[in-house]
Structures are given as C-alpha cells and as structure tokens.
Structure 1
C-alpha cells in the first residue's frame, strides 16, 4: 500500500467514465442516492409526527439505528467468516428489498396508518443487505477498471454521495415534505432503488473481472486476518470507526437544532443537508487532485478540520450562517472515504477484496447505530448545543490517537 501514497499515474474522472459499463453503474448509483437523500429529511419528520410518548431524540435514534442491525450481522458473516456471495447478487437483493420496503412504508404513511413500531420493524428487516450492498457497489465499480482507475472510481462514488445524497436529495426532499408529506418521499426512494437495480442488471457482467480470479483461486481467509498483515490499514479502520461514531449525534441533534435554535421547518433541514452537500461536492470533485499527497497525513488533517464544524455550529443562531459552517464541514470531510478506500484497496489481491472491503465498510458503518443509540440519550441530557460541542470536542481528542495509530511505522504493512 505504500505505492498508493506515491503513484502519480492515476486516471482522471473523465478517463474512467469513458468505460460505458462504469458510467452506467455510476449513473444508477447517483439516481438511487437522490432518493436516499430525500429520506434524510423525510425520515426524521415522519418520526416526529408519530413518536407518541417516546422522547423525540430517542425516537429519531431508534429509527436511524434500526436499518443497521441485521445488515451488520450479514456483513460480518462475509467480512469475518467464510460466507461468499457475489457482490452483484448482494446489490440486486438490496435494491429489490429496499424498493419493496419503502413502497410499503410509503403507502402506510400517506394513509396515516404508519406507527413508530411498524416503521422501526420495517427498517430493521428491509435493510438486511444494506451494508453488503454498499460495499458491493464499490467492489463492482472498481473491479471494472485497472489499478490506475481505482482512485478515480472511488472519488466518483464519493462525488455521487455528496451531490445526490447531500445536495439534490435533501433539498428536493424538504420541498416534497413541505408540499405533500414524508410518505411521498418514501415512495420516491423505492423508485431510486429500482433505478439502481436496472443499472446493475444492464452494466455489470454476471461474473465481474475480480470474481473470475476469486473463482479460480478461492480464499478462505477472513477479512480481519488479511488486515492483520497490514497493521496501518487495521489501525486506520479503528480510527475511522470512532470518527463515524462521534459524528452520529449530529444527525440526531440537527433536526432539533433546526427547529429550535434556527426556528425553521423541514425546508430548513433540507437546506442544511444541501449546504453540507455543496461543500462535500466541491471536496469530492477535488479528490483526484489530492492523489499525490501523503494519504495518511491527509486523513488525519480531515479529522482535525471536521471536528471544528459541530463546535462552531453550536454557537451559530441563523440559518445562512449555519449553512456556511455546515458547507465548510462538508468540504473538508468529503475526501476522507475515497482516499481511505483507495489506500486500503491498493494493497489487496483480487481474492481478498470482498471480505476486506466488506469488513472495512461494516466496521465504519456499524459505528452509526452505536453512535445513534448513544446519541439520543446524550442529546436529551446535554441538549442540542451541548451535544454538538461534545461531538466536536471528542473528535478533536481523536486526532492525537489517529497520529499515533496511522503514522506509527514507516510502511503500511
């Protein structure tokens, strides 16, 4: 993986998009993320309308955490065990199940029959393939290019997330929720999953390039055993876990912050996520320009700079100022995931990709439900402002730990 920090021959975004299969899959991924971005606004609004006697922050935390439970179990079976399911199959299963789940939840919501327990149970089972599907998107896209195209593909995946998930999706979602109801946004997310399904079927061969190699030379090693041979990558996974863990209280605090401190509605929440997305879009667009920088140092700098975002946000009282702060946060945060995954994948053999990338994705994403479950009570006790400050302060404390963990030793192992 040391070569990942010095190689200067990576392809540009434009070069990898000349591959029509890659372009088709990325387009489906982009449109699917628009639907998911609407959910960022619709889901907390829907939850607040049906929370009943459950405290608001606790209800939001439970709804946000529910999709991670079963999906974590499946992803760990792949990353730590010997379960091997082709990424194409996993992603198709995720698209079909997500579409059915959100169509049903949307129908219940628009007919005023959706309750908090039903919403939680639906998300619990409907997201079974969520983590495995997320890692499968990356595996399929990067398997269709060579080593010099991997950095650009990871960057484009990040660009999709920032543009669709945090710009277009939340803004459109806020407008739809304000004009109609959250249930309509749930229906649209189901449609996005169907679009991704069509893109996978049309663009991804039944047996991708890297999985031809996997079938010829099957690997029975777990992802963790492979990571142990690459100590820096393993330690970086731990750092990323806590980076994501300490971020999650912000997702619970944000709708309460928008309603309370900023005194606005779902449209304001959509604009806040949109501001984050605009900043992240710019950051993601610049990822390919960062390929010659030392990647480990870059990752540590991102953690440090992001930590100031929630701290400053806590002391801002107007929507325009809050959008500027959140937008700058998105700018520094966006390169983290594509740089981290490119760094990780550069040192893996084809038959090691699925279990390690799935384990890495799981390790980073499992921080979300844990952070949400703790974030609810934390926000209830510390309040919205206190929760934001605590999230940023603890992230700052993570910086020296990251320096020791990621920079220790002269090679990634």
Structure 2
C-alpha cells in the first residue's frame, strides 16, 4: 500500500477520531484545553498567593487551607445542590461549574484592586469556586455519554485526561514565569478568564436541554449515593478507587523526604521525579484509547496491581537509574484509571441518573488523596519515608489482588455465563 494512502487513513483509523471529529465535541474541546491550562497554572498560583497573604508564622497552615478550599467544598456541593441540579444536561452542569469558577476566581483580583483581599476572603472565594466542581466533572462525562456511542466512551474519557495531564506539565512552569512577571493574583485572574471561555464555549457549542432520557421527578439531595448503593459493581468501584487514591496520598509527604534526606538530592531532583511521572502519564493517556476493546473491569483492577508493583522500587534501596523509570511507568499506568472507571459508570447506569451518580462518586473520591496525605505525616515520622512508600506500594498491590479475587468470585456465582462476561466487560 502506498505511504500516502496509509497516511490519509491514519487519522480516521485512530480511536480518537470519532471524538475530535464530532460536530459538537470538536467545538467544546478547545475550551476544555484552555481551562485545563488555567487549572495547571493555578497549582502554583493558589499556593503562592496564600503564602503572600498569610500572616507571618501561619503560612504553612493557611497554604494547606487554601489548597483544600480549592477542591474539598465540592463534596458538600454534591449534597447541597443535589435536588436543584438533578436532571440537568451534561453541558448545563459543566457550564454552570465554569460560570461559578470564573466569577469566584475573578473576585480575587477584583478584591485585590480594591485593597480588600485578606487571607480569609481569599480562602472563602476559593471555596466558593469549587462548590460545583463535582457536578462539573459529572457533566463532562455525562456529555460524552449523551453524544457518543458506548464504544467511543473510553477514548473520549482519555481525551479529557490527556488535556489535564498536558496542562500539569505546561501549566506550572508557565505560572512560575507569569507569577514572577506580574504576580500570583494575576495568574488567578487568567485562570478565571479561562473558565469564562469554557462557560461561553458550552453555551454556544452545545444546544441547551439536550438529554438522551428524562430524569425522575423530585429526586432527593442524595439520589446519586442511592444509585451507587443499589449497584454492587459501582459500590465495588467506589471502594477500589477510594483505596487506590488513599494509598497514593502518603507519596506527597514521603517522596520529598526520600529525595532530600536519603538520596541527598535537591528540589531539582524531586522535580525530575515529578516530570518522569507526568511524562509517563501523558503517554499512558495517549495509549488509553487503544485499549477500548479490553474488558474494563480486569483492565481497571490490573492498573491498580501494576501501579503498586511499579511503585515498589521507590520503597526499596535501588539506584535512581531504576527508581526513576519505575516512577515513569507508574505514571503511565496511573493515567488510564480515571478513563476506565468513568467508562464503567457510563455503561452501568442510565444517562438520566449518570450525573447524580458521578457527582456522588467525585464527592467521595475528592477526599481520598487529602486523607492519604494527612496519613502520610505520622507514617513517615513513625516508619521512615522509604518504608512508608514500600508499605503503600505493597498495600496497593494487595488491594488490587483482593478486588480481582472478589470480582472473580462474583462472576463464578452468576447463574449464567453471559452475566459473568457482562461483569468482566464492564456491565452491572
């Protein structure tokens, strides 16, 4: 076959082609990319501005509070706005989240210009900006389920993940440059502008009120938790994800200690590990679409086991030449997890109930990494940083093996083979 023929066929043969060529999604993706970059820059700007605003001697405490305020209130927002937002389309949910983020974040530079920005007001505005975050995340994945057939859900989820992973590589260094040139408050202003662009994108690109199915009347505030509670596979997925993210949390405490105290490295060395993980994650995200024909449950559980195995060298006394590639491999394995777990949700419940279930799922999962990070403090102090990493890696492997055993046991208990195959392919 001539090379030019193969070249012309390649884009259309890619699993990502139905996603990027979709008449509605291709208009939304640029807005998502812009807002992802804004969030990548916020990783630096949020903490830096907290350091500048906090009183002397309280900077560590207020910085931690500011970081938590930028994410954790979304758990409360899932319940508080449950009745109001149930039954809305994916584009509406994601768009309203973008509007709230844009408005609350824009109020920070406005308060700064007015001379009224205090650390307390700053934290309050960050918390306000995150109230609809779980609903916004649910809206993005619901929009995919509304617009695309099931076979394209995993590649579409992967596209969202790739945008986020690329932003975490590009955003922080760009934020560092802009912060040095203009100040952290103006980087947050730029973040607000990116969310305004995203809100406008949803408003103009996706027809309002588009839903595949009607929703139930007058749902409760906790309807999403009810969907998960009555679905055994989703309960198992929630438990697996919570444990997986919880065990990753101590890394943020133990890894810097290992690099500085045991490897006698610098911040540059620590950054090299982060870069390796980020590069691996980007490659893993790009590869995710090509495993769409793999059975979802075994793939999701296999990611957990493989990630734990890849993290083991960090807890062992091995040379950097081995631990650094292992950490890059861990990033590669980590990347597809969100895409496969979201695909399991998209296949396991109706489009009408999907936003509520995903918002409830996000509300629980958003607590996992912070709790794990808090756990990492006493573990690192009591056991040592390297032993903490080894314990978490080994526990992750055990978690995956137990999940595989339970899933296999359930499939054998199914009265017919078709049901068992449905479980392992991602069905309920």
Scaled to the shorter chain, the TM-score interval is 0.7 to 0.9
CA distance in 2, matches of 1:107, 1:356: 36
Equivalent residue of 1:20, what SS?
A: coil
Given that 1:99 and 1:191 are in contact with CA atoms closer than 8 Å, whether structure 2 keeps it comes out as yes
Unaligned stretches of 5+ residues in structure 2: 1-12, 412-419
Matched residue, 1:247: 248
CA distance in 1, matches of 2:319, 2:173: 18
Give 1:408 shift: 3.3
Matched residue, 1:226: 227
Given that 1:316 and 1:322 are in contact with CA atoms closer than 8 Å, whether structure 2 keeps it comes out as no
2:41 aligned residue (21, 38, 42): 38
Give 1:398 shift: 2.1
2:15 aligned residue (3, 12, 16): 12
Query: Max radius of gyration: which structure?
Result: 2
- 2:273 pairs with 1:238: no
CA distance in 1, matches of 2:288, 2:400: 21
Give 1:239 shift: 0.8
Matched residue, 1:148: 151
Distance change in 2, residues 1:85/1:372 (3 Å): farther
Which fold has the larger relative contact order, with Cα–Cα distance below 8 Å and residues 6 or more apart in sequence?
1
Unaligned stretches of 5+ residues in structure 1: 1-9
Matched residue, 1:359: 360
CA distance in 1, matches of 2:233, 2:70: 30
Superimposed CA distance per residue, residues 159-198 of structure 1 (whole angstroms, 9 cap, x where no aligned partner): 222222x222233234434555433432222122112112
Superimposed CA distance per residue, residues 35-92 of structure 1 (whole angstroms, 9 cap, x where no aligned partner): 1111223334444554743484x5554333223443212213566x685252433323
Distance change in 2, residues 1:82/1:103 (3 Å): closer
Given that 2:141 and 2:342 are in contact with CA atoms closer than 8 Å, whether structure 1 keeps it comes out as no
Matched residue, 2:289: 288
Q: TM-score, normalised by structure 1?
A: 0.80
Give 1:339 shift: 0.9
Matched residue, 1:4: none
Deviates more, 1:269-278 or 1:132-141: 269-278
Give 1:336 shift: 0.6
Matched residue, 1:193: 195
CA RMSD of aligned residues (A): 3.7
Q: TM-score, normalised by structure 2?
A: 0.78
User: May I ask how many residue pairs the two structures share in their alignment?
Assistant: 396
Given that 1:61 and 1:376 are in contact with CA atoms closer than 8 Å, whether structure 2 keeps it comes out as no
Matched residue, 1:74: 77
Distance change in 2, residues 1:388/1:31 (3 Å): farther
